[in-house]
Amino acid sequence: MKLTILFGGASFEHEISIVSAITLKAKLSSFDLTFVFCDQDHKFYLVEASKMKANTFSKNQHKKMPELSIANGCFTQKSMFGATEYKGTVLNLIHGADGEDGTIAALLDFFSIKYIGPRIDASVFSYDKRYTKWLCSAKEIKSVKYELLSAKVHKDITIPYPVIIKPARLGSSIGVSIVKEESELDYALDTAFEFDTCLIVEPFLVGVKEYNVAGYMANAEIHCSIVEEPQKNEFLDFEKKYMDFSRSEHVLKADITPALEKKLIANFKKIYRSLFEGALIRCDFFVVDGEVYLNEINPIPGSMANYLFEDFQGSIEALANSLPHAKRVKVTYDYIHSLSSAKGK
């Protein structure tokens, strides 16, 4: 099948998106792949598969490659003799801003391009951690208690130490700190406010169990991956997550009871249904005293969480063949014509 990998974007997670795209080149080798790179200036470039290497982008070699524009139903390469169209399903692999905040979703929807990825409303509720908390409340899914801090309004933290502080609209543990005592707070806040004007403060849960589940919808059914128990120290910082995004080897299933597995998958499906259709997402859960809490939603997980699926290529193909279709309104001008007829004009 034809698949266009769209990656890059103007965000703090730009480099992670490149790593993900390089990983998927190998994982989806049997597909007819096209690679489209979005640079920090929002220009699109057609990248040869043989040039899909990290230093291609760090050395700005992509600027010597064909620049693309976007048109109804496809990306296009213009020339003196016309234009070449690059059609096929797009896989939105832009992490962070642009890709996960709804910007690319809106662009692809506007130009009627089929794509794998979160739609606008799903992006809103998963990109901003504040809205994810509200989603949990609306869907009656447990999440860790939290407080909000704003760069414009001073407010003391009431949650007892240790706490974890994170930017509300950023992933990959960028700007995240564990604060064990008050003397460490100012530095952690300065670090986090460099990346966002709103912060989430949560209690740092010691000894908590963490589990990851990914999934997608195809043929009106939600298909879930294995449940993974990631191996961590205190938490995955940016450097560890950067390496994590290049994972391609299938991981082992978590050694948990059938009852807990059923509970985790039920929570995943509750989150996914009626919001994330068209996307392959990963949810990260905490388990405390047998209770399941949503930690975060990854609407475009690193390397599409390929390592959690036994047949990743089959999963992507099934998802691509089951994408939701937004109907365009047909404009007829009947109302204007009736007014004109009534006035004799």
**For residue 152, what is the domain's CATH number?**
3.30.1490.20
Give the closest residue to 304 by CA, choosing from 296, 312, 293: 312
Query: Over the chain, what is the mean pLDDT?
Result: 92
Q: Do residues 199 and 165 make contact, with C-beta atoms less than 8 angstroms apart? A: yes
User: Is 237 domain-assigned?
Assistant: yes
CATH number, domain of 43, equals: 3.40.50.20
CA distances from 228 to 28, 291, 300, 316 (A): 22, 17, 17, 19
What are the residues whose beta carbons fall under 8 Å from the beta carbon of 13, sequence distance 6 or more? 95, 96, 97, 170, 171, 172, 174
- Predicted pLDDT of residue 121: 96
User: Is 331 domain-assigned?
Assistant: no
17 pLDDT higher than 90 = yes
User: Is 334 domain-assigned?
Assistant: no
Q: Measure the CA–CA gap between 178 and 170, rounded to whole angstroms.
A: 16
User: Is 336 domain-assigned?
Assistant: no
Range with the poorest average pLDDT among 89-98, 101-110, 147-156: 147-156
Asked if residue 171 and residue 215 are part of one domain, the reply reads: no
Confidence of residue 309 (pLDDT cuts 50, 70, 90): very high
Say what percent of the chain tops pLDDT 70.
94
Asked if residue 189 and residue 139 are part of one domain, the reply reads: no
Q: How many helices (H) and strands (E) does the chain have?
A: 10, 16
Confidence of residue 192 (pLDDT cuts 50, 70, 90): very high
Give the domain-ending residue among 77, 102, 117.
Answer: 117
Q: Do residues 204 and 178 make contact, with C-beta atoms less than 8 angstroms apart? A: yes
Give the domain-ending residue among 162, 187, 203.
Answer: 203
Asked if residue 40 and residue 103 are part of one domain, the reply reads: yes
- Predicted pLDDT of residue 326: 75
Asked if residue 135 and residue 100 are part of one domain, the reply reads: no
Q: Rounded to the nearest 5 degrees, what angle is found at the Cα of 197, between the Cα atoms of 192 and 198? A: 80
- Predicted pLDDT of residue 282: 98
Say what percent of the chain tops pLDDT 90.
81
Tell me what the mean pLDDT of segment 269-294 comes to. 96
Q: Say how many Å lie between the first and final Cα of the chain, rounded.
A: 53
- Predicted pLDDT of residue 244: 57
Give the domain-ending residue among 101, 117, 133.
Answer: 117
- Which position has the higher pLDDT, 155 or 187? 187
248 pLDDT higher than 70 = no
Asked if residue 240 and residue 138 are part of one domain, the reply reads: yes
Asked if residue 49 and residue 192 are part of one domain, the reply reads: no
Asked if residue 162 and residue 43 are part of one domain, the reply reads: no
**Per-residue pLDDT reduced to its tens digit, 210-242:** 999 999 999 999 999 999 999 765 555 545 554
Domain that holds residue 243: 124-143+207-320
Tell me what the mean pLDDT of segment 264-276 comes to. 97
**Per-residue pLDDT reduced to its tens digit, 105-137:** 999 999 999 999 999 999 999 999 999 999 999
Asked if residue 214 and residue 159 are part of one domain, the reply reads: no
Confidence of residue 22 (pLDDT cuts 50, 70, 90): very high
Instruction: Report the half-sphere exposure of 86 (CA within 13 A, side-chain side).
Output: 23
- Which position has the higher pLDDT, 341 or 212? 212
- Predicted pLDDT of residue 95: 96
User: How would you classify residue 231: left for phi > 0, otherwise alpha for psi between -120 and 50, otherwise beta?
Assistant: beta
- Predicted pLDDT of residue 239: 54
Asked if residue 155 and residue 136 are part of one domain, the reply reads: no
Cβ neighbours, 10 Å, residue 76: 18
User: Is 193 domain-assigned?
Assistant: yes
Asked if residue 289 and residue 219 are part of one domain, the reply reads: yes
User: Is 211 domain-assigned?
Assistant: yes
User: Is 326 domain-assigned?
Assistant: no
Asked if residue 186 and residue 91 are part of one domain, the reply reads: no
Q: Is 51 helix (H, G, I), strand (E, B) or coil?
A: helix
- Predicted pLDDT of residue 240: 52
Tell me what the mean pLDDT of segment 55-79 comes to. 95
User: Is 332 domain-assigned?
Assistant: no
32 pLDDT higher than 70 = yes
Asked if residue 90 and residue 60 are part of one domain, the reply reads: yes
CATH number, domain of 285, equals: 3.30.470.20
- Predicted pLDDT of residue 237: 52
Domain count, the chain: 3
Q: Measure the CA–CA gap between 164 and 146, rounded to whole angstroms.
A: 10
- Predicted pLDDT of residue 225: 98
- Predicted pLDDT of residue 246: 60
